[in-house]
Structure 1
Amino acid sequence: MITRRNLMAGLLAATLMPSVLRADPRPRARPVRTGAGAGVGVAKAVPTDIEALIANARLGGSVSFAVLDAQDGTLLASRAADEMRAPASTLKAVTALYAIDRLGPNHRFRTRVLRAGDMLILAGGGDPVLDTDQLAELAKATAAAEKTAGRPAPQRFAIWGGAIPHHDEITAGQAAHLPYNPAFSGINLNFNRVHLDWRQGGASVEARARRNSPRAYTVAVEVTDRGAPLFAYVPRENGEGWSISRRALGKSESRWLPVRKPELYAGDVFQTLCRAQGLVLPKPEVITDLPAGDEIASHESPPLTEIARDMLDYSTNLTAEVIGLAASGAGTIGASAQAMQDWLQAKGVQGAFLFRDHSGLSAGNRVSARMLAEVMAGPARSAGLRGLMKPIPLRNADGKKIPSDITIDAKTGTLNFVSNLSGFAQGPQGRVLAFAVLTGDEERRAATEGQELPDGVIGWTRRSKGLQQGIIEAWVAQYDRSAPALAVPAAPQPTDAPQPLEDAVAGAG
């Protein structure tokens, strides 16, 4: 059965870097010999086998890590733990904590339809996970309300996205066609992506969801025979467009493209869905001021904890930026990131960090391994974030999942030639470790900024992920031991939420 959650995974597969699996065998860890100064707050010596793992990974860049006892914060081992690195999407763990703390686990984003005189208004409330199927239900409710009221057809149809300030993109420096760097505002649909389907010489663009996939009329596509660039964004007065080289598509292909005018995109799709319900709306227009009006229909997002769980699972950049801005109330990504940084410092985290956004996509973000490990052992453990984090399976040298008595719940972070992991690891004796492993080749990352799968990146990332697993296995072999049961707070839950459903979310990340 296809569910909205299954669809989300499918959408992600078309836009994210292919899965990379470990291929290098690793030496087994040996016991660590500790120096006389080892103790609380002092890192023990790095096991020599971990150094061998690092050498064997052949990453050609830097490797830093920190591992703490999650119960008392004791630093167990570290390597270059205070050096500043690009966090990539591990930053989303901080964003999840920040948004839940500021907005509350019960917070839901509301998309409303208002009637103000002769104008119908689609008013976004910042919902980062609104999809076409949900918009179709809203269109159905709107048409029914209008029919019941017996009002004349609206003479104007407006879209308001002012609940979240409009941003043309998440960060500069990315290739224009990359779907993980779309525009966003207070009205967002399908993570502000459209689905391009190229078949037998023809191209169609759809607002694709599980049950409804209407054409996106505001997005035009022209296929040309030119060489470079393969994708070129073409602004239009009443929409947007793409000029795409036939070389980028081949004979048959589909892919997701980012939307730069999310208000018009959502209005266009809503107009089509209302027409299917017998409600004919005028051409959509974007408004910046929301007039007073009567609410005739609405849609509520899932509670914030569900949104955060899926953001951590699928690593959706748009979700991170929207919930971060909603939490801060700031007008720009930079100001909002600074507010999140101030909040984290107030929580007592002492490690070095510098935030430029909420998703980790900006090249200006910097964190240290010590800082991320401290977040896990401190605010994340206290808030029960582990219950929202993604289980990371162990794999063999062929990349296949293997049974293991080690459990890892963590957030990954991947950019070109950056691969990080931060979260919790627990061995059979029950000791919980809070950790961060940061690997990166800054020179190659900077040289390939914004490129899509540059040469060598898949193999590099595969080796890094293998290294991360090897380091965690070495830690568990060394530090896992019988210990008093750690009281792990439950993941934050909305008090009025229904039982979780498999298809509770939709979209792509």
Structure 2
Amino acid sequence: MFCDRTELSRRALLAGAFASLAVPAMASAPTRSPRPPARPAPGHIAALSGEPAALVAPSGSLSSLIERANLSGETAMVALDAETGAVIEEHRADLRMPPASTAKAVTTLYALQTLGAEYRFITRVESRGGAIANGTLSGDLVLRGGGDPTLQTAELARLADELIERGLRRIDGRFLVDDSALPDVHQIDNGQPVPAGYNPAIGGLNLNFNRVYFGWEVANGRAALSMDARSNTEVPGVSMIDIEAVARSMPVYTHDVRGEREHWTVAANALGTPGSRWLPVRRPGAYAGDVFRALLAARGCQLPEPRRATVAPGQVLAEHRSDPLTSILREMLRYSTNITAECVGMTASQRLGPGVQALAPSASRMNGWIRERYGAAGLGLLDHSGLSEGSRIAPRTMAQYLLAARREGVLPGLLREHPLRDANGREIASHPVEVRAKTGTLNFVSALAGYAQLRGGRAVVFSIVSADLPRRAALSDDTRERPVGARSWSGRARALQQDVIERWSAMHS
């Protein structure tokens, strides 16, 4: 059986809202809170108090199950015996399809094997050119990023507290932000909706998953707008990102970058009731520097405006170390955080050698590494998260990778339990099949890849992908965030995934 359950952490709660919240035009705007709300707790197959229910596999052939799902587009899948690698059943298994977030299962072992399970990202505050005397630093203060995708405002606040404890009250030099640990990536995928919080910039210094909190209050028909970088303890304001309401119906949001500053607009008629959402940040180094400056100002230490620069290391005044990489990757797989996948993937690629200045070259290096180590030929990933619809992988290739990864004994324990459900969508606590898998969802793309095992039976390795790429390509900018028909299409795709997993488990018992 699979094992290794973990408790939900504070960082996981933050990561849980990484998918965009509702646009403000929706009547039920999200409730304001000190931090993003979590996704529902991971599915859990309860311990059985007796014999599990007997498995009742769907009737009919594999082709009839696919036909009954009534999915437009293409579907491809394969199931392998987890011990021998023999094919149990397949349908168009060599068709190259978008993997969506199942690509994160590939990134996981690439990062672990390249960086090591105990690797930690380090964020430092350094001094250059002088020491602190009588409350003044005679030199430059440097905020140096280490590529940490999980850094939060609360951790920047602790760095600020350490500086105050050392007596810092002002500097007579510059306040520099060095975010050169990773290349600047303006956004993961340029085909996503403008306000999509799951599609932020990537850099060497990231904060709050590179999202900024936009809130609005409404009184007497007028909306008061605010931007901040809140944590669960404080709410530092943001000065380098602003937003204004404009008189229009569509689009709901626009975004513009002006040097190191960002400017958003929002349609005024979308702000009828109070609400909030997290918006993506495109200048993450400048954002983190701006927030750090505000945190120090609230503690009585005044800094000049931050300037981005690449500088040699100085004397370390304070530092924050991330959780170990294994913990970071477990939460990435559970909550499908795109920024985490891209940061750990690019960091691993840099460890292997120079020349990685964008996501595609980094993904290409990963494709080659996976091909050589695991024999998974035909990988065509363009990033590490699977957000790019241009990425391609055949189900057979994914299953062969998962088969090889299982033999190393690491990946199954990092993947989350995938609950199987009844006809009303409720989890079946006593279901006889246990599944560890990674989901993948884009508009009109649904994928599931991982391991299934009938309790007491033989394990199955599987990969299933359905995609209607013409329908996805036909979406306009105004409909990409909530396209008509996408929800029901995804529901049918998920039902098909469960049907074939139950079928394969019964065949392989």
Secondary structure, counterpart of 1:354 in structure 2: coil
What does residue 153 of structure 1 align with?
171
**In the TM superposition, what is the alpha-carbon distance from 1:61 to its structure 2 partner?**
1.5
User: What pairs up with 1:20-169 in 2 under 5 angstroms?
Assistant: 29=57, 48-117=60-129, 118-147=139-168, 153-169=171-187
Q: What one-letter code is carried by the residue in structure 1 that aligns with 2:296?
A: C
What does residue 52 of structure 2 align with?
none
Distance in 2 of aligned mates of 1:322 and 1:13: 17
Contact 1:391 1:408 in 2 (8 A): yes
Secondary structure, counterpart of 1:115 in structure 2: strand
What does residue 386 of structure 1 align with?
412
Pairing partner for 2:460 from 420, 430, 433: 433
Distance in 2 of aligned mates of 1:65 and 1:16: 33
Secondary structure, counterpart of 1:366 in structure 2: coil
**In the TM superposition, what is the alpha-carbon distance from 1:390 to its structure 2 partner?**
1.0
- Is residue 2:217 matched to residue 1:188? no
What does residue 41 of structure 1 align with?
none
**In the TM superposition, what is the alpha-carbon distance from 1:227 to its structure 2 partner?**
2.2
**In the TM superposition, what is the alpha-carbon distance from 1:143 to its structure 2 partner?**
2.1
**In the TM superposition, what is the alpha-carbon distance from 1:319 to its structure 2 partner?**
0.8
TM-score, structure 2 as length reference: 0.85
Contact 1:29 1:50 in 2 (8 A): no
**In the TM superposition, what is the alpha-carbon distance from 1:399 to its structure 2 partner?**
0.7
Contact 2:20 2:197 in 1 (8 A): no
Q: Residues 248, 49 of structure 1: CA spacing in aligned structure 2 closer, same or farther, 3 A cutoff?
A: farther
Pairing partner for 2:321 from 295, 300, 315: 300
Distance in 2 of aligned mates of 1:346 and 1:54: 34
Contact 2:11 2:150 in 1 (8 A): no
**In the TM superposition, what is the alpha-carbon distance from 1:192 to its structure 2 partner?**
0.4
**In the TM superposition, what is the alpha-carbon distance from 1:372 to its structure 2 partner?**
0.9
What does residue 252 of structure 2 align with?
230
Contact 2:181 2:203 in 1 (8 A): yes
**In the TM superposition, what is the alpha-carbon distance from 1:144 to its structure 2 partner?**
1.8
Q: Residues 113, 5 of structure 1: CA spacing in aligned structure 2 closer, same or farther, 3 A cutoff?
A: closer
What does residue 400 of structure 1 align with?
426
Secondary structure, counterpart of 2:119 in structure 1: coil
- Is residue 2:187 matched to residue 1:199? no
Q: What one-letter code is carried by the residue in structure 2 that aligns with 1:342?
A: G
Contact 2:251 2:267 in 1 (8 A): yes
Pairing partner for 1:411 from 438, 442, 450: 438
Q: What one-letter code is carried by the residue in structure 1 that aligns with 2:229?
A: A
What does residue 442 of structure 1 align with?
469
Distance in 2 of aligned mates of 1:14 and 1:167: 19
Distance in 2 of aligned mates of 1:62 and 1:415: 14
Q: What one-letter code is carried by the residue in structure 1 that aligns with 2:10?
A: R
Secondary structure, counterpart of 1:325 in structure 2: helix
- Is residue 2:344 matched to residue 1:323? yes
Distance in 1 of aligned mates of 2:150 and 2:143: 16
Q: Deviations over 1:344-387 (max 9, x none)?
A: 11024244321111111112200000011111111244141110
Distance in 1 of aligned mates of 2:362 and 2:22: 26
* Unpaired runs of at least 5, structure 2: 1-6, 24-38, 41-54, 130-138, 351-355
Contact 1:419 1:461 in 2 (8 A): yes
Contact 1:414 1:420 in 2 (8 A): yes
What does residue 447 of structure 2 align with?
420
Q: What one-letter code is carried by the residue in structure 1 that aligns with 2:305?
A: K
Q: What one-letter code is carried by the residue in structure 2 that aligns with 1:143?
A: I
Q: Which stretch shifts more, 50-59 or 79-88?
A: 50-59
Secondary structure, counterpart of 2:300 in structure 1: coil
Secondary structure, counterpart of 2:88 in structure 1: strand
Q: Residues 154, 423 of structure 1: CA spacing in aligned structure 2 closer, same or farther, 3 A cutoff?
A: farther
Distance in 2 of aligned mates of 1:430 and 1:365: 34
What does residue 486 of structure 1 align with?
none
* Unpaired runs of at least 5, structure 1: 20-26, 31-46, 481-509
Q: What one-letter code is carried by the residue in structure 1 that aligns with 2:212?
A: V
Q: Residues 219, 51 of structure 1: CA spacing in aligned structure 2 closer, same or farther, 3 A cutoff?
A: same
- Is residue 2:486 matched to residue 1:466? no
Contact 1:424 1:434 in 2 (8 A): yes
Distance in 2 of aligned mates of 1:238 and 1:107: 31
Contact 1:351 1:374 in 2 (8 A): no
Distance in 1 of aligned mates of 2:85 and 2:287: 48
Contact 2:98 2:391 in 1 (8 A): yes
Pairing partner for 2:266 from 232, 244, 258: 244
Q: What one-letter code is carried by the residue in structure 1 that aligns with 2:426?
A: K
Secondary structure, counterpart of 2:446 in structure 1: strand
Distance in 2 of aligned mates of 1:280 and 1:349: 56
Secondary structure, counterpart of 2:61 in structure 1: helix
Secondary structure, counterpart of 2:329 in structure 1: helix
Q: Which stretch shifts more, 52-61 or 313-322?
A: 52-61
Q: What one-letter code is carried by the residue in structure 1 that aligns with 2:213?
A: H
Q: What one-letter code is carried by the residue in structure 2 that aligns with 1:205?
A: M
Distance in 2 of aligned mates of 1:333 and 1:170: 8
Q: Residues 368, 10 of structure 1: CA spacing in aligned structure 2 closer, same or farther, 3 A cutoff?
A: closer
Distance in 2 of aligned mates of 1:152 and 1:265: 20
**In the TM superposition, what is the alpha-carbon distance from 1:275 to its structure 2 partner?**
1.8
**In the TM superposition, what is the alpha-carbon distance from 1:252 to its structure 2 partner?**
1.8
Secondary structure, counterpart of 1:134 in structure 2: helix
Secondary structure, counterpart of 1:8 in structure 2: helix
CA RMSD across the alignment: 2.2
Q: Deviations over 1:43-67 (max 9, x none)?
A: xxxx843322222211112111111
**In the TM superposition, what is the alpha-carbon distance from 1:211 to its structure 2 partner?**
2.0
Q: Residues 312, 3 of structure 1: CA spacing in aligned structure 2 closer, same or farther, 3 A cutoff?
A: closer
What does residue 285 of structure 1 align with?
307
Distance in 1 of aligned mates of 2:210 and 2:374: 36
Secondary structure, counterpart of 2:109 in structure 1: helix
- Is residue 2:200 matched to residue 1:178? no
Q: What one-letter code is carried by the residue in structure 2 that aligns with 1:447?
A: A
**In the TM superposition, what is the alpha-carbon distance from 1:307 to its structure 2 partner?**
0.7
**In the TM superposition, what is the alpha-carbon distance from 1:131 to its structure 2 partner?**
0.5
Q: Deviations over 1:210-238 (max 9, x none)?
A: 22321222110101121222211022344
Q: Residues 6, 368 of structure 1: CA spacing in aligned structure 2 closer, same or farther, 3 A cutoff?
A: closer
Q: What one-letter code is carried by the residue in structure 2 that aligns with 1:244?
A: V
Contact 2:141 2:171 in 1 (8 A): no
Q: Deviations over 1:159-187 (max 9, x none)?
A: 11000011111122222211111111100
Q: Residues 99, 217 of structure 1: CA spacing in aligned structure 2 closer, same or farther, 3 A cutoff?
A: same
Contact 1:82 1:352 in 2 (8 A): no
**In the TM superposition, what is the alpha-carbon distance from 1:126 to its structure 2 partner?**
0.4
